[in-house]
Amino acid sequence: MTKTTTPQPTPAELGILTVLWRLGPATVREVHAALEHPVGYTTVLKFLQIMTEKKLVRRTESGRTHVYQPVVTEETTQRRMVSDLMDRAFGGSSARLVMQALSTKPASPEELREIRRLLDGLNGDSR
C-alpha cells in the first residue's frame, strides 16, 4: 500500500509553495528573496529539504545549486484546503462556506458575474 495523497502543507510551507507557483522552478536564493515573510536563508533551505521529502516539491541538482519546483498544483492545494475547512468547520456544507466567504468579503462585480456563471453551469434549472 503506497501513500497516494501528498500531505497538507503547513502554513510556512504554503508560503513557499505560493512563491514557487508564481516563479516556477527556482533556487533557494530566489525563493528566499521572493518571500514576503522575512526569514533566514537556511530556514528556507530547510523547508525546501523537508518539502522535498514530503514530495511537495521536486528538486533538480543543476550543478552546485539545486532548483526546486512544486509538485502539487495551486488548484489541488486550494481544493484540499477548502475541503478540509468545509469538513472541519461547516459540517461538509459548501453552501454555508460559500455564504460565509461572500459575506465576509464581497467579491467584485465581475467576480460575482463569474460566480453566477459557475452556478448556472452547476444546475441549469434553478428557476
Residues of this chain that interact with a second copy (CB under 8 A) are 11, 14, 75, 77-79, 81-83, 85-86, 88-90, 92-109, 111-116, 118-119, 122-123, 126-127
By the 8 A CB rule, do 67 and 48 touch?
A: no
Using the rule CB under 7 A, which residue among 42, 73, 93, 94 binds DNA? 42
Q: Which helix (H) or strand (E) holds 70?
A: strand 65-70
Comparing CB distances to DNA, the nearer of 29 and 79 is 29
Distance CA 35, CA 17 (A): 10
Give Rg (Cα) of the chain.
Answer: 18
Q: Could you say which of DNA, a second copy, none residue 37 binds, taking C-beta under 5 to 8 angstroms by partner kind?
A: DNA
- 92-108 burial, b if ≥16 CB within 10 A, otherwise e? eeeeebeeeeeeeeeee
Q: How far is the CB of 59 from DNA (least distance, A)?
A: 8
Comparing CB distances to DNA, the nearer of 50 and 97 is 50
Distance CA 68, CA 22 (A): 13
Q: Is 43 in the site for DNA (CB under 7 A)?
A: yes
Interface contacts to DNA, rule CB under 7 A? 10-13, 27-29, 37, 39-43, 45-47, 49-50, 64-66
